[in-house]
């Protein structure tokens, strides 16, 4: 080995030992006849010392020539530091160097490789292999590693079998655009990269593998944002001979196991909420329940008083921000401007302050009496010092607008504490959702989700009212995982395809293999998939998943480090029977 110890290992117990370290030069401090070098590896940092009176002149000159990120090997004796550094674990010792070898010199790096760097996002993405040397980035990858190991440990203990499924599959409609791969040996035909291993894990249940999981790479050609990458990782799971309760309990167990063994956090029981209640009280199917601020509907109290904006609205609804009555007019005007931004889309905002003297001051005082405003306060459960914020308009739109306002108020009032974790099961999603563009229903989750038995009759009369045996795990307002009990018989699956607008021929072409498998004794089954990158970001206290992926893409889906995607040679296109006609 080129080293006897790592750069994070040595302590006072090692004093007077002869050691050999290898790593990267973090920085050099040259005082003429005295040189200190901070040597770094993935385990930590150790200070090296070169002294003119005790070192050979050639050794001191060699140390003076070192630059940032040089790879070196240093041999010497561990000594106690006279000026200790309590900010690092090795801060009580240093190495008095007797031999130094430069294993590889380095160019001056394009940014400072320290926790506080001067490199912007794009520059650090281009030199990601350098960015990964920084502690703050490496620690995120180490967290990811631990999450993977603990997931495997829990799943193995629950008798799950880890099975790898194919990466080159058939293109099937699952909600997002596929990435496609041309087949050289089958001209004009294409593979697709899997959006998820959905059909394969169901086939594994048909095969008798009654507990499957996989930490699997998935691919979706979607517009990107902070919590979305074109390739991402799922903890993909499926179970046979179970009902919904079994799945919720099993994966609530996984969630608690990860929090306990990775974060040292003992989670309380995971609460449950129906989709209908989530939309009614939070305007969001992934509500952040770290704070309350539930929606209160005011139609009965606010309409018919001559205020036309409320009178013409389908829904008048608001939230109560506890203790926020001291917001100034300037703050409230800024809040009104915020909800009127195109991204939110509200036409305006009404507020009512419940003042410390017991009076209620509103922007619509001339339309509503003091008694009317007191009725509002009673409906909100408001007390002196609270602020009521009210929006109105089309029901679906105004709920989404108020959801954004609620989250903003939660942030502004310090109620979204990253050290607090509030997981929630959201259940009983609609099976289908109407799409205005295509003028037909689409599966809210995917076409293999089973409807609730008691709602089956509604498929023909009121498809939009049919509830699914589907569930999402939400943590702090972020959807971490989702799943369902699956359809496991051919007749129901064909009926589902029919209501999704598939002809019998289309259904057979796309999913004939699955429906045929259902005729060979398919057990009842269901499962869930966790967004592993998002889960890591939640554990690490981040909004973006990018730092938890070793080599991520930017917001244009590009890897700027290796310059991908890129064009390919005409000869390759010819082999693939592809002719390009790129529109400018």
Instruction: Output the known binding site for ATP.
Output: 220-222, 229, 479, 531-534
**Residue 581 to residues 187, 578, 584, Cα–Cα distance (Å):** 17, 10, 9
User: Annotated binding site for L-aspartate, which residues?
Assistant: 174, 220, 445, 486
**Phi, psi at residue 412, to the nearest 5°?**
-65, -30
In this structure, are residues 469 and 429 in contact, taking their beta carbons and an 8 Å threshold? no
CA–CA gap between residue 179 and residue 233 (Å, rounded): 16
Q: How many CB atoms lie within 10 A of CB 236?
A: 27
User: Annotated binding site, which residues?
Assistant: 174, 220-222, 229, 445, 479, 486, 531-534
Residue whose structure tokens are 């602020």: 387
Burial of 189 from C-beta contacts in 10 A (0-12 / 13-18 / 19+) = exposed
In this structure, are residues 561 and 129 in contact, taking their beta carbons and an 8 Å threshold? yes
CA–CA gap between residue 50 and residue 31 (Å, rounded): 10
Helix or strand holding residue 428 (H, E): none
CA–CA gap between residue 29 and residue 285 (Å, rounded): 55
Output the CA torsion sign for 185, 186, 188, 192. Answer: negative
Beta strand pairing call for 525-531 and 478-485: antiparallel
The β-bridge partners of 235 are 215, 530
Residue whose structure tokens are 């999603």: 429
**Exposure on the CB side of residue 48, measured as CA atoms within 13 A:** 33
Residue 339, SS3 per DSSP? helix
- 502-503-507-512 Cα dihedral, nearest 10 degrees: 170
CA–CA gap between residue 310 and residue 580 (Å, rounded): 56
Rg from Cα positions in the chain = 30
b/e map 384-409, b = 16+ CB within 10 Å: eebbbbbbbbebebbbbbbbbbbbeb
CA–CA gap between residue 147 and residue 399 (Å, rounded): 36
């Amino acid at each position: 080995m080129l080293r006897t110890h790592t750069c994070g290992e040595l302590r006072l117990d090692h004093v007077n030992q002869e050691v050999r370290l290898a790593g990267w030069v973090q920085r050099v401090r040259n005082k003429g006849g005295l040189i200190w070098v901070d040597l770094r590896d993935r385990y930590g940092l150790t200070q090296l010392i070169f002294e003119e009176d005790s070192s050979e002149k050639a050794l001191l000159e060699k140390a003076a020539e070192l630059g940032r990120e040089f790879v070196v090997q240093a041999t010497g004796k561990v000594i106690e530091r006279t000026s200790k550094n309590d900010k690092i674990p090795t801060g009580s010792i240093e190495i008095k160097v007797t031999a130094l070898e430069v294993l590889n010199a380095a160019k001056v790096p394009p940014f400072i490789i320290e926790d506080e760097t001067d490199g912007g996002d794009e520059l650090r993405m281009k030199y990601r292999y350098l960015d990964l040397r920084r502690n703050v980035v490496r620690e995120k990858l180490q967290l990811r590693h631990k999450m993977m190991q603990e997931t495997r440990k829990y799943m193995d203990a629950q008798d799950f079998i880890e099975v790898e499924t194919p990466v080159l599959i058939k293109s099937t409609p699952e909600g997002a655009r596929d990435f496609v791969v041309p087949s050289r040996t089958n001209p004009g035909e294409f593979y697709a990269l899997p959006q998820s291993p959905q059909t394969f894990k169901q086939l594994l249940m048909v095969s008798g593998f009654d507990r499957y999981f996989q930490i699997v790479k998935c691919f979706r050609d979607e517009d990107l944002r902070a919590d979305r990458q074109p390739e991402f990782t799922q903890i993909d799971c499926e179970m046979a001979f179970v009902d919904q309760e079994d799945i919720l309990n099993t994966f609530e167990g996984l969630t608690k196991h990860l929090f306990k063994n990775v974060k040292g956090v003992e989670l309380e029981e995971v609460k449950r909420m129906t989709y209908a209640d989530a939309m009614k009280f939070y305007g969001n199917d992934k509500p952040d329940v770290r704070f309350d601020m539930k929606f209160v509907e005011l139609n009965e109290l606010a309409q018919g008083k001559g205020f036309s904006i409320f009178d013409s609205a389908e829904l008048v609804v608001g939230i109560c921000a506890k203790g926020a009555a001291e917001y100034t007019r300037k703050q409230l005007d800024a809040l009104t401007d915020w909800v009127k931004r195109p991204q939110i889309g509200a036409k305006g905002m009404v507020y009512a302050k419940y003042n410390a003297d017991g009076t209620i001051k509103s922007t619509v005082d001339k339309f509503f009496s003091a008694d009317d405003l007191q009725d509002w306060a009673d409906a909100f459960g408001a007390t002196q010092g609270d602020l009521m914020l009210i929006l109105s308009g089309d029901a679906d739109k105004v709920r989404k607008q108020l959801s954004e306002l609620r989250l903003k108020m939660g942030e502004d009032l310090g109620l979204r504490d990253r050290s607090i974790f509030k997981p929630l099961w959201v259940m009983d999603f609609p099976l289908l959702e109407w799409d205005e563009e295509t003028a037909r229903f689409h599966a809210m989750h995917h076409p293999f989700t089973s409807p609730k038995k008691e709602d089956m009759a509604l498929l023909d009369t009121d498809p939009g009212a049919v509830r699914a045996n589907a569930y999402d795990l939400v943590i702090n307002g972020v959807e971490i995982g989702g799943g369902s009990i699956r359809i496991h018989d051919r007749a129901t699956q064909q009926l589902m395809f029919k209501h999704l607008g598939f002809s019998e021929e289309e259904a057979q072409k796309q999913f004939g293999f699955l429906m045929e498998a259902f005729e060979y004794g398919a057990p009842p089954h269901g499962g869930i998939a966790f967004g592993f990158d998002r889960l890591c970001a939640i554990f690490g206290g981040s909004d973006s998943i990018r730092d938890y992926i070793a080599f991520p893409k930017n917001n244009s889906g590009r890897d700027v480090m290796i310059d991908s995607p890129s064009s390919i040679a005409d000869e390759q296109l010819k082999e693939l029977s592809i002719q390009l006609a790129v529109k400018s």
